[in-house]
A and B are shown apart, each in its own frame.
Chain A
Amino acid sequence: MNIVVLVKQVPDSGAERNLRSDDNTVDRESATNVINEMDEYAIEEALRIQEAHGGEVTVLTMGPERAGESIRKALSMGPDKAVHVVDDALHGSDALATSKVLAAALGTVNPDLILCGAESTDGRVQVMPHMLAERMGIAALTGARKLTVDTNGAGGATLTIERQTEEGYEVVTASTPAVVSVWDTINEPRYPSFKGIMAAKKKPVTTLSLADLGIPAAEVGLAGAYSAVVEHAKRPPRQGGTKVVDEGDGGVKLVEFLASEKFV
């Protein structure tokens, strides 16, 4: 099975993150950048499917030059190769433009299965799997906490996921080719071993530009975006909480507080 995993480099959600003052886009220069956490689960799932069914795993990243660090790290977990779409004109692309670029890049690999994290910790819009499926005319199985692959012997497979919902889960099925997005409940990603790290050095990374994909620069980037961040401000510092002192009526005061905040 030919599997592509979408990997996005994002600012570390555990450290301070900022937007740029000049164009309101994510400040990637001053941030500590890491692989989007949910994507590591997608990589792990791809590797497990490869271990069970064979085939090839390719990492696909769209991002600036420095996203190459995250590609290397992803490859050190075990995938065979990577495709890096890098072009200055991509800066500031919205989800629609990103999906256009990724769909075109996916066309160069022709995967049976596209795996990705259910969301990225910077954008958090969760629309990429749907947009890709729509552009490519294939099924989208989203929000998986479990994925089962039944191969049909002819190179294709039936995919069944347990789709995680607020109340429980739904069982959803599709045939390949398809896009599957996963939550962090699906597996435990492996840590890169030293052998994996050494091997990653030698794995091929294909670099593609917008011209290579035949996409005009005007359709992507800040200028081509359908949505724009007009302004931004720092989150206000947390206010001191309300202290309830129990003088025999603590319970009543607590309920009053909760009611005033519309919690009850």
Chain B
Amino acid sequence: MDFLLDEEHEALRESVREFARDVVAPVIADHYEHHTFPYDVVRQMGKMGLFGLPFPEEYGGMGGDYLALCLALEELARVDSSVAVTLEAAISLGAMPIYRYGTPEQKARWLPKLVSGEALAAFGLTEPGFGSDAAGMQTRAVLDGDEWVINGSKAFITNSGTEITALINVAAVTGTTADGGKEISTIIVPSGTPGLTVHPGYSKVGWCASDTHELSFDDCRVPAENLLGERGRGLAQFLRILDEGRIAIAALAVGLAQGCVDESVRYAGQRHAFGQPIGDFQAIKFKIADMQVRAHTARLAYYDAVARLLAGREFKQAAAIAKLHASDSAMANARDATQIFGGYGFMNETPVARFYRDAKILEIGEGTSEVQRMIIARSLGL
């Protein structure tokens, strides 16, 4: 039983904390305001090995584990969620499926540049009319000779339209299963493939410095060998990817929740009202104490989920609990932090205003809070 990080993970946390403070914090508000992708920050994240955290050294990775990734996400999100989700999606949804299910050729071709952060990969799963219910998938891929022909569209795809996006892992219906259901497979579609249209970036409430697009596929042809993993295993693959991804999103949410505490503590000591710092008022003290409780318990929840994952134990319920509790905590802390900041909390230039705008998606992305409750209830036999 040990909740304390070892020296190496603690050192990584510190290294990413310094990076977020020195490299991300000074520039991110401007990117956020103008909805631009922070290429220079991403390049430097690549240089310090963040995109290679959970991958082995043979692909240029850092040889770390999933905990290392989660700690990096937490520390980045403590300052900004856009860069954190860029990293999360690039690893969990982009490179990880190739690492886990790719052929040696696919790995050799794609992984080195994804792992170094020179290139980003995206995961095309969600569609305009389908999210968590796989039966609703409409995008189809048909084998025509030695090529897949893909038709359909995908929605809210992170990292799919940057200048350095190399590929999109596209989930598509490739046939019918023995019991009449949809056979789902994953196919690698390189950026720039004719027939793939990347639509202009969305106007989003939050995560404004991250890259999100709608994609459409119109007789988009890729070689048959771009099939990722086994044909018909697409559903099982992405369920596993999403289970893991939930822990990563939980870590990101904890970062946001803790960032709200950091900012609130700082501001409560500076801002005066009625002749004293507002941090001397019990109303503010208690609010911040409650915020810290949320951040801390949510952190313990994701530590537990990671520990189970790393030990090779069942972690589905723990991941769902961590994601649900962490996103609730992030939302609640963002609400309280903006309240503590008063009028300044309503100004976009204030970090807590960014936190407020970024928190909501955490209750929606990678499985809504309702879906997390479904998973938890199901794990209890309901």
Interface residues of A (CB under 8 A from B): 72-73, 76, 190-198, 201
Complex Cα distance, B68 from A38, in Å, reads 28
B18 part of interface (Cβ distance < 8 Å): yes
B15 part of interface (Cβ distance < 8 Å): yes
In the bound complex, residues from chain A placing their C-beta under 8 Å from that of B12 are 192, 194, 197
Q: A73-B11, A197-B8, A197-B12 are in contact. Are A191 and B18 (CB under 8 A)?
A: yes
Asked whether A194 lies within 8 Å of B63 as measured between CB atoms, the reply is yes
- Which single member of A76, A190, A195, A196 contacts B57 (CB below 8 Å)? A195
Which residue, of B12, B52, B64, B68, has the highest number of chain A Cβ atoms within 10 A? Answer: B12
Q: A197-B8, A201-B8 are in contact. Are A191 and B15 (CB under 8 A)?
A: yes
In the bound complex, residues from chain A placing their C-beta under 8 Å from that of B48 are 190-193
In the bound complex, residues from chain A placing their C-beta under 8 Å from that of B19 are 191
What would 30 A/B residue contacts be, using CB atoms closer than 8 Å?
Answer: A72-B7, A72-B11, A73-B11, A76-B11, A76-B15, A190-B47, A190-B48, A191-B15, A191-B48, A192-B11, A192-B15, A192-B48, A193-B15, A193-B49, A193-B62, A194-B12, A194-B49, A194-B63, A194-B68, A195-B49, A195-B52, A195-B57, A195-B64, A196-B49, A197-B11, A197-B12, A198-B8, A198-B63, A198-B64, A201-B8
Interface positions of B from 4 to 53, Cβ below 8 Å from A: 7-8, 11-12, 15-16, 18-19, 47-49, 52-53
Please name the residue on chain A nearest to B49 by beta carbon: A193
Least Cβ–Cβ distance between A213 and chain B, in angstroms: 29
Complex Cα distance, B215 from A225, in Å, reads 72
Interface positions of B from 286 to 345, Cβ below 8 Å from A: none
In the bound complex, residues from chain B placing their C-beta under 8 Å from that of A190 are 47-48
Complex Cα distance, B8 from A143, in Å, reads 34
Asked whether B18 lies within 8 Å of A194 as measured between CB atoms, the reply is no
Chain B contact-residue range equals 10 to 19
Asked whether B62 lies within 8 Å of A194 as measured between CB atoms, the reply is yes
Asked whether B53 lies within 8 Å of A194 as measured between CB atoms, the reply is yes
In the bound complex, residues from chain B placing their C-beta under 8 Å from that of A192 are 11-12, 15, 48
In the bound complex, residues from chain A placing their C-beta under 8 Å from that of B18 are 191
Least Cβ–Cβ distance between B286 and chain A, in angstroms: 27
Least Cβ–Cβ distance between B134 and chain A, in angstroms: 34
In the bound complex, residues from chain A placing their C-beta under 8 Å from that of B63 are 194-195, 198
Interface of B is mostly: helix
Interface positions of B from 42 to 87, Cβ below 8 Å from A: 47-49, 52-53, 57, 62-64, 68
Asked whether B15 lies within 8 Å of A197 as measured between CB atoms, the reply is yes
- Which single member of B16, B47, B62 contacts A195 (CB below 8 Å)? B62
In the bound complex, residues from chain A placing their C-beta under 8 Å from that of B16 are 191
Please name the residue on chain A nearest to B15 by beta carbon: A192
In the bound complex, residues from chain B placing their C-beta under 8 Å from that of A201 are 7-8
Extra 18 A-B pairs, beta carbons < 8 Å, given A193-B15, A198-B63, A201-B8: A76-B11, A76-B15, A190-B47, A190-B48, A191-B18, A192-B48, A193-B62, A194-B8, A194-B12, A194-B62, A194-B63, A194-B64, A194-B68, A195-B63, A197-B8, A197-B12, A198-B62, A201-B7
Least Cβ–Cβ distance between B38 and chain A, in angstroms: 16
Least Cβ–Cβ distance between A235 and chain B, in angstroms: 20
In the bound complex, residues from chain A placing their C-beta under 8 Å from that of B47 are 190
Complex Cα distance, B49 from A193, in Å, reads 6
Least Cβ–Cβ distance between B135 and chain A, in angstroms: 40
Complex Cα distance, B168 from A64, in Å, reads 53
B249-266 vs A, CB cutoff 8 Å, 1 = contact: the mask equals 000000000000000000
Complex Cα distance, B11 from A180, in Å, reads 29
Complex Cα distance, B63 from A76, in Å, reads 15
Complex Cα distance, B11 from A76, in Å, reads 9
Complex Cα distance, B12 from A165, in Å, reads 37
Please name the residue on chain A nearest to B19 by beta carbon: A191
Please name the residue on chain B nearest to A193 by beta carbon: B49
Complex Cα distance, B46 from A190, in Å, reads 11
- Nearest 7 interchain pairs by C-beta: A193-B49, A194-B62, A191-B48, A194-B64, A195-B62, A192-B15, A197-B11
In the bound complex, residues from chain A placing their C-beta under 8 Å from that of B11 are 72-73, 76, 192, 197
Please name the residue on chain A nearest to B68 by beta carbon: A194
Complex Cα distance, B15 from A72, in Å, reads 13
Complex Cα distance, B64 from A73, in Å, reads 17
Please name the residue on chain A nearest to B16 by beta carbon: A191
Least Cβ–Cβ distance between B257 and chain A, in angstroms: 24
Please name the residue on chain A nearest to B23 by beta carbon: A191
Please name the residue on chain B nearest to A188 by beta carbon: B44
Complex Cα distance, B253 from A233, in Å, reads 45
Least Cβ–Cβ distance between B73 and chain A, in angstroms: 13
In the bound complex, residues from chain A placing their C-beta under 8 Å from that of B53 are 194
Interface positions of B from 262 to 276, Cβ below 8 Å from A: none
In the bound complex, residues from chain B placing their C-beta under 8 Å from that of A72 are 7, 11
Least Cβ–Cβ distance between B62 and chain A, in angstroms: 4
In the bound complex, residues from chain B placing their C-beta under 8 Å from that of A194 are 8, 12, 49, 53, 62-64, 68
In the bound complex, residues from chain B placing their C-beta under 8 Å from that of A198 are 8, 62-64
Complex Cα distance, B12 from A76, in Å, reads 10
Least Cβ–Cβ distance between B219 and chain A, in angstroms: 43
Please name the residue on chain A nearest to B53 by beta carbon: A194
Complex Cα distance, B11 from A196, in Å, reads 10
Please name the residue on chain B nearest to A196 by beta carbon: B49
Complex Cα distance, B12 from A191, in Å, reads 10
Least Cβ–Cβ distance between A175 and chain B, in angstroms: 33
Interface positions of B from 110 to 167, Cβ below 8 Å from A: none
Complex Cα distance, B31 from A262, in Å, reads 43
Complex Cα distance, B7 from A72, in Å, reads 10
